[in-house]
Each structure stands twice: as structure tokens, then as C-alpha cells.
Structure 1
Amino acid sequence: MIKTLLRIALGAFMLLAGIGHLTYARETFQAQVPDWIPLSKDFVVLASGAVEIALGLAMIFLTKQKKMVGLILALFFVLVFPGNIAQYIDHRDGFGLDTDTKRLIRLLFQPVLIFVALYSTDALKKLKK
């Protein structure tokens, strides 16, 4: 029961984040796109928002494929982590993260998100096989 609630909550979180990428927080999310990415920051934000919406829906509704969805979401969290690191290193404000301490604390939550994606979908069992 707790895993199901975590999976649905994480799916809802991803949906909200994805909607934010496409709408009200679009410019704020651009602060997380590292300068070394050779694409428009707006494109990266829009594309990642679409991916987040898809992953959020998958976390909630694709229960038969939940282990694979959990693995993909965990990988997504790993892939976007350089953006969070860039925000810290470049001292970029966004989402109320207006100090290095706040940005550093946020970095510590990325492994938590990865763990919740794997745990709530039983993807950890898939990794052990």
C-alpha cells in the first residue's frame, strides 16, 4: 500500500513539474539548463517537461509495466542531475534556491527521488535479477 501511494505521489509530482516546465515555471526551469548543452534552453525545458508528463502518467497508470517505468524514471533523474549541479556551481537562482546552501541541500534530494522511483515500483527487484 505504501509503495502504491509513493508511486502515485511521485507520478503526480512529475505531472506538476512537467506542467510547470510548459507553463508558469518555464523561465525558472531554464536556470537549471547547463550552458554546455548545445540546444536552446527553452527547447530543453519544453522537451523535458513533455517527458516528465509522460513519465508521471506512466507512473500512475502503467501498473503492469511499473518496474520498467521506475527504471526509466530513475534514469531520467540521473540524466537531469547535471542541471542541478550546474545550478549550484553557477550560483543560479530558481525555485527559491537563492543561496548555495539551499542549492546544495537540493542536490541531496536527487538520490532520494531515484530511490523512491525504484522502491515504489519494485524496480530494485528488477535490478537484482
Structure 2
Amino acid sequence: MKDEQVKDIAKILLGAGLIFAGIGHLTFARKPFQAQVPDWVPLKKDDTVVSSGFVEIAMGTSLILAPKKYKKEVGQLAAALFVCVFPGNISQFVNKRSAFGLNTDNRRFLRLFFQPVLIYWALKSTGNKL
């Protein structure tokens, strides 16, 4: 399998994951996602979860369907999204909020290290130089 094919598959998987998470924000995982919204966010937690769900669906769709000439920019936007939601992961850890099986300090702490992986994945799968 060629390097470009691997990147395309990785990009599609990331996009599908974002779409799935976005749907979760709007439906079956709405309450658990509220555990990640920092208290300093000026919107109601549910409004934040719903809004971010729409953003994740749009971002996932863009990763999958955007024309090749925009794939680097879409990857940069996806990476920026993962940077922007990172404070939610920190908030969940600091405030000891359980959700998604993250019900211990160790699990919530280890989750923090997954965010850089998502950022790398978004950039690398869209051909951005690291």
C-alpha cells in the first residue's frame, strides 16, 4: 500500500471518528460530554456540547470530502479543533469528572496524552509537514 493511500485511509478514519463523536454530542453521549466542558465557558454546558457536535460533524465531513487542494488546510483546522477542545480534557482531569470510562485520576490523566496524537494524526494524514 502506498504512503498516500495510508494517509487517505487515516484521514477518512479520523473524519468518521469526528462525525461519530459529533453525533454523540447531539444524541446518545450528550450528558457525558458535558463533563468535559470547563466551568469558565460562558455558555450553558448543553449548548456548548451541541454547538461543538455540529462543529465536529462539519470537520469530519470536511476531512472526508474536501477537495485535495484544500486537504492541508482542512488538516490544520482539524488540528486546531483538537487544540481548542484540549482545555475540556484538562478540566475533566482537574475537576475529577467521570465520563466515558474515565472514572479514575489515572485514566483522566492518561487521556491528556491522546490529544497530541489526534493533532499529529490530523496533520500527518493531510500531508502537512511536521
What TM-score comes out, normalization by structure 1 length?
0.95
1:1-129 to 2 correspondences below 5 Å:
1-64=5-68, 65-124=70-129
Shift of 1:38: 1.1
- Alpha-carbon RMSD across the aligned residues, in angstroms, is 0.9
Give the counterpart letter for 2:75 in structure 1. Answer: G
How many residues matched?
Answer: 125
**Residues in 1 aligned to 2:67 and 2:126: alpha-carbon distance in whole angstroms:** 9
Runs of 4+ in 1 over 4 A off after TM superposition: none
- Residue ranges of structure 2 left out of the alignment (5+ in a row): none
Shift of 1:123: 2.3
The amino acid across from 2:40 in the alignment is: W
Structure with the larger helix share: 1
TM-score by length of 2: 0.94
Deviation at 1:124, TM superposition (A): 2.4
Amino acid in the other structure paired with 1:20: G
Percent identity among equivalent residues? 55
Whole-angstrom distance in 1 between the partners of 2:109 and 2:32: 18
CA distance in structure 2 between the partners assigned to 1:98 and 1:81 by the alignment: 18
Displacement of 1:81: 0.2
TM-superposed deviation, 1:77? 0.3
Worse-matched range after superposition: 58-67 or 106-115: 58-67
Structure 1 unpaired stretches of 5+: none
Q: Secondary structure at the match of 1:123?
A: coil
